[in-house]
Structure 1
Amino acid sequence: MPRNKYPEITEKRILDTATKLFVEKGWEETTIQDIVDDLGDLTRGAFYHHFKSKEDIIDAVLNRLANENDPFKKSKNISGLNGLERLRMAFLLSFENIGQLEAIKTIPTILNSPKLIAKQLQDCVNSGAPDILAFIDEGVMDGSISVQYPKQTSETFMLLTNIWLSPIIFSVDTEEYLLKVKHLQELFNSIGLPVIDDQIIDILEKFHKSILNI
């Protein structure tokens, strides 16, 4: 295959194909060779020029799916909300990302990949927490949030909701899952971040049941 003058086009094609195969076959069943074969005009060497491993392509697919419906950006663009309402809205909007939900459903477990787990932990603190912090700071300014340690609260929020509350990482039945949610509700309420309300609990219950039905 001739050298591609536009590597971003090749990368997009790889991501498109990988996403399709991951949804159709699942993460564990899809191989790099499957992706190369489906593309038809790409060598394994060319693939590795863009992605060094299967974990790298999985991470890139997840990031793209998450960014397709950025709940923080959408929430920022809604007028008339205080900081707490903006954070709560971002939480609710995150469950409208159908593409990401479908991708999540194809992952039997990510615990088999320490690299992916480490990347998720790092992304929670380095990528997700700053968005949470912006809303918390806004809430502290307008009086809707009263946490004492905004930065540390944003990191804790991301780690607990994205890792500890993940039904993919920690598989529990819906009853236990709701107990975890209500525990987080009490925990966040006690530090001045009453973000989890009845609407969010209802959304999380439906989300968990949808994961169990895959």
Structure 2
Amino acid sequence: MPRNKYPEITERKILDTATKLFFEKGWEQTTIQDIVDEIGDITRGAFYHHFKSKEDIIEAVLNRLATENDPFKEVKKIAGLNGLEKLKKAFLLSFENIGQLEAIKTIPKILSNPKLIAKQLIECVNSGAPDILAFIEEGLLDGSISVEYPKQTAETFMLLTNIWLSPIIFSVDTDEYLLKAKHLQDLFNHIGLPVIDDKILETLVMVHKTIKNI
């Protein structure tokens, strides 16, 4: 069989097709053979050349969704905001675009996988926290934020909001979810990071109710 001259094109086709099928059928119902058959012009061997397992392909799909909906990049384009306002806006966008709501029905069982959760924990600290830290440092300079430990605060913020507050990883009813959000509000207010205001609380409740109804 001739060597594939354009492996990046094949990988993109696999990702595009897998994303489409995961959204349509759900992750559990989609097989690797389904993806291969839908593409039509690759073999299972070609698939495994790019992705070793279904876990690998779903991780790649989730990573691409996160990259396509990066709230930090969007907020950096907005002029006239102080550090705290940038952080609030990014937080709002991250929940308003939470992996594209129509796709959430495919995600809960995926994120129950301990390996993927562990990788997400590492991603929160290594990839997400530096963006939070940049906004916190801006806030320290402009006076809108007054935390004592900026780096540690950024990491804690990412871990708690992306893991503990995730309505996908930890499934609770809306009343309990609101209590969790208010607890984080008190916690961050106490350390000088008043990022969770009433508007954000309302958005969190709205998103939670939407997810529960999908």
Tell me the TM-score range normalised by the shorter chain.
over 0.9
2:180 aligned residue = 180
2:71 and 2:93 in contact (8 A); partners too: yes
Instruction: Give the aligned residue type for 1:119.
Output: K
Displacement after TM superposition at 1:92 (Å): 1.3
2:188 and 2:194 in contact (8 A); partners too: yes
After TM superposition, the runs of 4+ consecutive aligned structure 1 residues lying more than 4 A away are none
How far, CA to CA, are the matches of 1:14 and 1:89 in structure 2?
33
Displacement after TM superposition at 1:167 (Å): 1.1
Aligned-residue identity in percent:
82
Q: Within 5 Å, which residues of 2 pair with 1:42-191?
A: 42-97=42-97, 100-110=100-110, 112-191=112-191
Unaligned runs of 5+ in 1: none
Displacement after TM superposition at 1:112 (Å): 4.1
Deviations 1:122-168 (A, max 9, x none): 11111111111110111111110111111111111111001001111
How big is the alpha-carbon RMSD for the aligned residues of Structure 1 and Structure 2?
1.4
Residues 189 and 98 (structure 1 numbering): CA distance in 2 closer, same or farther, change over 3 Å? closer
1:188 and 1:195 in contact (8 A); partners too: yes
Displacement after TM superposition at 1:99 (Å): 5.3
2:198 aligned residue = 198
TM-score by length of 2: 0.95
2:35 aligned residue = 35
Instruction: Give the aligned residue type for 1:66.
Output: A
1:10 aligned residue = 10
1:55 and 1:115 in contact (8 A); partners too: no
1:174 and 1:209 in contact (8 A); partners too: yes
TM-score by length of 1: 0.95
